[in-house]
Amino acid sequence: MFGGGVGLRLSTSLVAFLTLFSSLSNAQQPKNAKALGEVLGGIPDLSIYYNLLKNNTDILFEIPNLAGVTLLAPSNEAFNKSQDFQPDNTTYLTTLLKYHIIRGVINTQSLSVGPSIYAPTLLTSSDQTNVSTGQNVIITRQDEETTVITTGLGSRSTISDPADISFSGGLIQIIDTLLVPPAPLEKTARDAYKDLTGFLGALYSTDLVSTFSQSKDVTILAPRNSAFQKIASPLSSLTKEKLTSILKYHLIPNKIIPASSFFIPSANFTNGTLDSQEGKQVLVTRLGNNLFFNRAQLLQADVLISNGVIHIIDGVLNPDLEESQQVPEEDVKSQSVAFTQPVSGAQTSTGTKVPVPFTSYLPCTSDCPVTTTSSAEVEEATTTTRGGVSTRSSSGMGVMPRCTGVGGYVAAGVVGVGMGMGFVGAV
């Protein structure tokens, strides 16, 4: 699609580009390290990336000149195989290039196998991200030979050989796939992590979507669909105000917290608390290799979104329980739910017998599929929840998305992120 000699207009500031990084003397690189232009010009497989930088040199002048940087440089093949690459879209290119520049030097050989790190990038524009230190990428050294970068919508890229290429301002890491900047909560839940549609629907039903998706630097504890299905009956009796309180209990404001931070051996962490938006604290407990928020177990860590991170959990948290009722039970296969009257038959992740509460509040795309639920299944569920009002249905209408003409999204696969234990830069 795009060859190594892609026709891009040379920037008038090319000379500045070629010499810029020679002044970054504090990056702790070898004394004989070459300037960036010289290094990139000598790697044929980075010719598209090199030409893009030459035409967007203003981005380079935003780079901090003390600690050095890591350039995540997509190979020519990474550009050629991408269906989203827009070489003539200036706004897109600015976002793309900034998200591929890490603040700080990341040497793969210095990473431990297993642990992940959050690394902030130069992407800070308010229309693209709401993370104060710059939107993050997650870097995981899976084994001695493989280092993976996880970004938005579960997208993953692998660092190619040769790794850790020095230049006078830091390091270059060649990657095999373009990175995807994290998307807002709504798109992430609808496209890539569809097991969160009940949670997202609940936010729509209580007018909390903007609180969760637009607040700066947040950590969200998001229950999976089956967590809502298990307590469909008690949920149906809640007022909107009460449901609002419960949902705010799942929002940790002003902090982006990697779940992996609870697994740092040197911290000797056993338990602690997090201050929620609702006002009450969430208990965090580590039992062996498992992590619990109150009695809800962490299922998937570190799902990046435009304003922070989501951790997916297997239960809905209840702020009204006594502290003694929030402590997870040891040596049990399944923790008790935080609400009374759990629904029988909703214990599977698919929840085929119980419709997912709140999904009727999801705005749907113009090609929104019409789903139905058999009368036998609905009768067993007895109720669905909509705005805190109990309803009974024999046609499944209570759980069908509302068509509102909202533009469609392209589905992306769900990719798990390995737990890690470190940071790069303050979060």
Range ranked top by mean pLDDT from 22-26, 158-162, 255-259, 366-370: 158-162
CATH number of the domain enclosing 74: 2.30.180.10
User: Residue 84 sits in which domain range?
Assistant: 14-182
Torsions phi, psi of 205, nearest 5? -70, -20
Beta bridge partners of 311: 221
Joined tokens for residue 137: 């990428």
Q: Which helix (H) or strand (E) holds 285?
A: strand 281-287
Residues 97 and 51 in one domain: yes
The distance of Cα 94 from the centroid of its chain, to the nearest Å, equals: 21
Query: Quick check: is 285 in a domain?
Result: yes
Joined tokens for residue 375: 């009368």
Residues 259 and 325 in one domain: yes
Residues 208 and 305 in one domain: yes
Query: Quick check: is 213 in a domain?
Result: yes
What pLDDT score was predicted for residue 105? 94
User: Do 206 and 240 contact (CB within 8 A), yes or no?
Assistant: yes
CA distance 162 to 339: 53
Question: pLDDT, tens digit, for every residue of 145-176?
Answer: 999 999 999 999 999 999 999 999 999 999 99
- In the DSSP assignment, the letter for residue 188 is I
pLDDT top residue among 160 and 374: 160
Instruction: Return the C-alpha torsion angle 223, 415, 164, 38, nearest 10.
Output: -110
What is the mean predicted confidence (pLDDT) over 345-368? 70
CA distance 191 to 371: 17
Cis before 162? omega within 30: yes
pTM: 0.80
What pLDDT score was predicted for residue 354? 86
Query: Quick check: is 278 in a domain?
Result: yes
What is the mean predicted confidence (pLDDT) over 257-268? 70
CB atoms within 10 A of CB 183: 20
Give the confidence band of 380 by pLDDT, cuts at 50, 70, 90.
very low
CB atoms within 10 A of CB 71: 26
What pLDDT score was predicted for residue 114? 85
Query: Quick check: is 381 in a domain?
Result: no
Beta bridge partners of 174: 73
Joined tokens for residue 326: 């929030």
Residues 54 and 193 in one domain: no
Query: Quick check: is 229 in a domain?
Result: yes
Residues 248 and 302 in one domain: yes
Structural domains counted in the chain:
2
Residues 249 and 169 in one domain: no
Cα Rg of the chain (Å, integer): 24
What is the mean predicted confidence (pLDDT) over 250-264? 88
Q: How many residues does the chain have?
A: 427
What is the mean predicted confidence (pLDDT) over 70-93? 95
Residues 172 and 199 in one domain: no
Q: What average pLDDT does the chain have?
A: 79
51: Cβ contacts below 8 Å, ≥ 6 apart: 6, 8
Residues 154 and 70 in one domain: yes
Picking from 164, 182, 200, the residue at the C-terminal end of a domain is 182
Question: pLDDT, tens digit, for every residue of 212-236?
Answer: 999 999 999 999 999 999 999 899 8
CA distance 182 to 102: 15
